[in-house]
Structure 1
Amino acid sequence: MSEASSVSERALQIWKAGVKAVDSESLVCNAIQVTDHELTVCGHSISLQGHENLLVVGAGKAGSGMAAGVEAALNGALLEQRTSGWVNVPADCVRPLSHIHLYPARPASLNEPTAEGVYGSRQILQKISNLKQDDICLVLISGGGSALLPAPLPPVTLEDKQSVTRLLMSSGATIQELNCVRKQISQIKGGRLAAAATCGTLITLIISDVVGDPLDIIASGPTVPDSSTPTEALEILNRFVSDPQQVPDSIWSVLKADQTSLPAQAVSGQTKVLNQIIGSNATALEAAKKKAEEAGYEIVSLGSENEGTASGTGIELAELCLKIRGGEGPGSKPVCILSGGEPVVDLSSTQNPGKGGRNQEVVLAALQRLWEEDLAGICILSGGTDGEDGPTDAAGGILDSLVLQRAHALPIDPAPFLKDHNSYPCLAQVGGLLKTGATHTNVMDLRVALVE
């Protein structure tokens, strides 16, 4: 094994340790304890009389593992036989379970609402509104839940919602801004799912994919009171949209009619609602830190709340690696730089954006910055913990001296690829793609940079 491949392998093992710590099945299974007389979820105990039904619903990229975790926790208990459920997941996450139906609400690598997603969301709304007062509802929410739980508020259609979602994403809107608009045109988001519940107790288990773990933003907060307003949604649209005709009339009419705001007290009603985060980017970062320390690295942690642009993030990581190698940066070699969060790619900067994702752009920007450098002993890895990065089959990218050598040998100029946000084909040519397949979890991105 060459020096470059060995340092890359170490970076990958550290990254994988972070992802393993937020394994959705384990997180959920560990959060639930059950006896014949009591169900305990994250320390909240519910007395069982032996006749309650448990409905499990939800959506997200981690939904498959989370649902499997529920079934594993209930295995052999009397409540298991009174359990049913429906969870919307990406198509490549579907697998057979004993009691909970996993429904393919969108194709793999297409993080947009679909007609299938609307159908699945209506099934969930119907099931949750037919519960009895002594029934229990467990809601499983993870990243990607917004696109997997589309239930447009009439007269808004799915096509209307898709067009405004694409428009905002391509204009550089943050996830918070995007979710604000989506909540105001939804029958599920912004606490409306909890408001539809007719059971006595509803507990939501959440794997966070948003910086700072705000409950009302993750998957657009289907069981959390909505703090945003139609007026705020209108302000966001007006800020990002130069031509009002780009936004469907139905969306303008719904937002201007102010019909969608939901009073905070309406979320609870007769239902006791509890929201609990069971995994986050900080969880993954801590596990990666432990793995790196065990391998002998000194840790330089940039924290789990990094945002900014993908290209800027890549340049900053590259420059920090050079400073550390030159003895000017924090830490003494060997050093492991850890960084979590979710930068953005502003597609509005080019008329013809190419194929890629934010993690691939991080690595491509680092490649350009380090073009004239010797990368011996340096590796930069950036990957989405869900195994997806943009509409591609890659989780992200990885840069080491071998990747740089291949780029020089072709030769390939990263600048036009970076300008057009076309990172995938560039990294594919130089062997810089990170491919893991679906991981069944999602806590944003995890970046590992090693300087040896």
Structure 2
Amino acid sequence: MPYVGANSVQHLLRNFLLQPTRIPSSLIRSVRCTIPAPAYCTIPSFAPMHHLHSYHGDASQERQVANAIKIFQAGIDAVLPSQMVKNALHVEDDKLVVNERTYQLKHNVYIAAFGKAVAGMVQAAEKQLGEHVVRGIASVPVGMMKALEDAGRRQVLARHDMWPAPSSRIKLIEGAQDNIPDENSLRAAQQILKLAESLTEDHILLVLISGGGSALLPAPIPPVTLHQKQEITKLLASRGASIQELNTVRSSISLLKGGKLAQLARPAKVISLILSDIIGDPIDLIASGPTVPSSFVAKDCFEIITKYTSLGEIPDNIKSVINNNGNPVAYEQFSHVNNVIVGNNSKAVRASKETSERLGFDSFILSTSISGEAKIVGKHFAELAQVICTMLQDPESSVTEAAKLVDLLQSLNATDTIIKSIQRKLVSKKSICLIGAGETTVTIHGNGKGGRNQELALAAAVAMDTASSFKNCHVTFLSGGTDGQDGPTDAAGAWVHPGIVREALLCGHSPGNSLQENDSYTFFSNLADGRNLLKTGLTGTNVMDVQILLVTPRT
């Protein structure tokens, strides 16, 4: 079947309305599967949503999709790192005040940075501290500079302070392709280690940390090799280990993590500014806590390992290193360290909420600690959309529907106060926006390509397809990573609506099989020229993931 152009489509649809039997079903299928969705406007912000397309439906649905993406983008814009660093570093004359502690500045500041958001953090720190910065090392993701340039080149970089100036004294090293430790990130870690060891009591080590820092600071304790560290991380992650569990194991076999970077820098003063990417902001686990004393012992690490695999699958030298380095460090040995959380996902979702309210939604933040298996969370969001649609149409819905609403909201960690507020607002029959944030996990069963946000969105789409209550509502669900990279893909996540499964089946794609094979990226890429993929490029920040559910009654 040849490609069918837009003018032909209009002609076909006109004929179909007049004489529907004149158009063969095979041609209808070809039209639906081969016409690219129309591009919609790029949102003017730091990280433009390029390659995003609108839903092939009515104007109301298209507006809702655009609104979901605007709401997501607002959250990212709120946690760009430069302003948060500026707020944390207060310089007056030759004095630096951080978290109510004062430091003497005298051309004595060294910087060690690692993570997906630290390029902007470095720029802000150098701007604040000026000539007092001597030198430093920053380990950043591969492709970071190109992604930022693609997002708007010099004007955008300058406006958002997302990259160090050409005169920067900080050496940037790109590594950790696809968020996996590699030789380049190992080289950066080794240089950071040497820098820390060289400092004296007159020096200040400013450590800038963000999500992704673990992969960008690999320094395995010999005789453990980088490859072995990669393999144990992949093994545990593929079997569903949480980021907290992964970082605990990483710390136990690292020369820098678990507080060891701060120990190497003694007697220098250490200031650590941390952009959190973990639920609850546990500073000992963010980037595996290089400036925080580890409270975990060897027994904890082995419990995590045996939870997901057998000790027989673990190399003997890794087990030996864990045993020999599994003793916690006393907190009094960290009196020279000042750890400060400068940003987290709470700030992102508050900005998303404000934007959704300006767009006319009754908006609620469900939780900033959503976790669990991505497939299950996606199913819960789909079921929640179904119940809300039912209750918007009939506020006096059965007791069963009301109970379902409570159960589903509780499964997504909503508080009783939030639940009651949502129940009250449903009576008004206005558009609803529910925002969640956190980090889910994926247990790998297949050999597909994807990430937790794309899998979560696909699971929601599959669950929506079995519902019958969406005919009276427009529904859009979006799940995206604030760092712009969902798994080893070039997408931040994906958005879906209730009709996507039927559309995919018409085009010969199997959403169920894709979900079973953990192949969400391939599924969304093949559907309508990838229009449902959320492609931001690397954003320069990282505060975990955000989910947005929009439900609007049809008028």
Q: Deviations over 1:327-346 (max 9, x none)?
A: 15533321001000011101
**Paired residue for 1:409?**
506
C-alpha separation between the residues in 2 aligned to 1:261 and 1:450? 48
Identity %: 40
The amino acid across from 1:315 in the alignment is K
The question of 1:251 aligning with 2:251 is answered no
- Structure 1 residue 199, shift from structure 2 partner: 4.5
TM-score by length of 1: 0.92
Partner of 1:145, secondary structure, is: coil
What is the Cα deviation at residue 416 of structure 1? 0.5
C-alpha contact 2:501 2:511 (8 A) present in aligned 1: no
SS at match of 2:306: helix
**Cα drift, residue 33 of structure 1:** 2.4
Tell me, which stretches of 5 or more residues in structure 2 are unaligned? Answer: 1-39, 41-58, 146-162, 392-400, 406-421
**Which residue does 1:274 correspond to in 2?**
338
Aligned partner of 2:415 in structure 1 is: none
Report the number of matched residues. 437
Q: Is residue 2:109 matched to residue 1:41? A: no
Larger mean Cα displacement after TM superposition, 324-333 or 116-125 = 324-333
* Larger deviation, residues 280-289 vs 355-364: 280-289
Corresponding residue of 1:433: 533
Secondary structure at the aligned position of 1:56 is classed as: strand
Q: Which residue of 1 aligns with 2:433?
A: 336
The residue aligned with 2:34 is: none
**TM-score of the superposed pair, with normalisation by structure 2:** 0.75
- Provide the secondary structure at the position in 1 that maps to 2:369: coil
> Retained in 2: the 8 A contact 1:137–1:199?
no
Asked whether 1:299 is paired with 2:363, we answer yes
Aligned partner of residue 283 in structure 1, secondary structure: helix
What is the alpha-carbon distance in structure 1 between the residues aligned to residue 60 and residue 381 of structure 2?
21
The structure number with the bigger radius of gyration is 2
**Alignment match, 1:89:** 140
Mapped partners of 2:351, 2:328: distance in 1: 39
- State how far apart, in whole Å, the 2-side matches of 1:377 and 1:239 are: 42
Amino acid at match of 2:512: A
1:422 aligns with 2:519: yes
Aligned residue number for residue 21 of structure 2:
none
* 1:66 and 2:66 aligned: no
Deviations 1:260-310 (A, max 9, x none): 424224742xx6101010111111111111111222211232210010111
Greater helix fraction, Structure 1 or Structure 2: 2
Shift of residue 176, structure 1, vs aligned partner: 1.5
2:477 to 364, 372, 380: 380
- State how far apart, in whole Å, the 2-side matches of 1:30 and 1:409 are: 53
For residue 401 of structure 1, report the CA deviation from its aligned partner. 5.6
Shift of 1:246: 2.1
Give, in angstroms, the shift of residue 254 of structure 1.
1.6
Q: How does 1:347-386 map to 2 (within 5 A)?
A: 347=444, 350=445, 352-372=446-466, 373=468, 374=470, 376-386=473-483
Establish whether residue 100 from structure 1 lines up as the match of residue 197 from structure 2. Answer: no
CA distance in 1, matches of 2:522, 2:223: 40
- Partner residue of 2:269? 201
What is the alpha-carbon distance in structure 2 between the residues aligned to residue 290 and residue 102 of structure 1? 36
Structure 2 CA distance for aligned equivalents of residues 112 and 267 of structure 1: 31
SS in 1 for 2:480: strand
Post-superposition, which runs of at least 4 consecutive aligned residues in structure 1 deviate over 6 A?
Answer: none
Q: For residues 121-270 of structure 1, what are the structure 2 equivalents within 5 Å?
A: 121-242=189-310, 244-256=311-323, 258-265=324-331, 267-268=333-334
Matched AA of 2:497: D
Where do 5+ consecutive residues of structure 1 fail to align?
Answer: none
